[in-house]
Amino acid sequence: MECLIHTTTPTLPQQMSRDWYGAAVEPPVSFSFELTGETLIFRAACPAPALINPAARPGAFCPELWKYDTAEFFLASPVTGHYLEFNLCPNGAWWAQAFSAPRVAADTPAPEGVLTEAAYTPTGWSTQAAIPLTELGRLGLDPRHCLLAAAAIVHSPDYLFLTTADNQTGEPDFHRPACWPPAKLV
């Protein structure tokens, strides 16, 4: 599934409604990407409870968010293959890591200036992160010319893995840049 990057506020978010193995997921996870000014905004929401990493603090950088419910995206340069993994917790905590190749972490600091917002209740959540384009550029990434995949992990601890990547064979593995389609600006 191709990910759309809106140049105006998205009116209809995209949805991930099937897990890694093709089974229907109810309720689906909604997501959108938006370019506004000098910022990439990633939004995600789900009208269901979430299990949150106990160390996660709203707006703060926090490792290992993926061990709990989280929304994610992967943004790659089609030229170099370098990519960024960005995790966003339902409460607004976040984590990011640059990679020089699949699962090969780059020795590069996480983006600075990331701002998040979140609304989390026992019945659902919505969250968003604004990442400065200058920080993505520092990592050699341009969302206007990239490969892009959204992903989510929900229903922890009985994990369901969702992604927009083109190939979902084998065990769940979001780190497959060759399977991420080019982003489409709309």
pLDDT digits (tens, 9 = 90+) for 38-48: 999 999 999 99
pLDDT of 55 strictly over 90: yes
Domain limits, the chain: 4-185
**C-alpha 14: how far from chain center:** 13
pLDDT digits (tens, 9 = 90+) for 57-74: 999 999 999 999 999 999
Query: Could you tell me the end-to-end alpha-carbon distance of the chain, in angstroms, rounded to an integer?
Result: 15
pLDDT at 148: 98
pLDDT of 9 strictly over 80: no
Sort strands 184-185 and 4-6 into parallel, antiparallel or unpaired.
parallel
**C-alpha 140: how far from chain center:** 18
Could you tell me the two tokens for 139?
């990592």
In which region does residue 113 sit, left (phi positive, over 0), alpha (psi from -120 to 50) or beta (all else)? left
* Measured distance CA(125)–CA(88) in Å, rounded: 12
**C-alpha 167: how far from chain center:** 17
**C-alpha 148: how far from chain center:** 9
Residue 65 is given by DSSP the state G
Q: What is the mean pLDDT of the chain?
A: 96
For the entire predicted model, the pTM comes to 0.96
pLDDT digits (tens, 9 = 90+) for 96-132: 999 999 999 999 999 999 999 999 999 999 999 999 9
The topology under which CATH files domain 4-185 is Immunoglobulin-like (2.60.40)
* Measured distance CA(85)–CA(57) in Å, rounded: 19
pLDDT of 184 strictly over 80: yes
pLDDT at 7: 87
Q: Is the separation of the CB atoms in 30 and 48 below 8 Å?
A: no
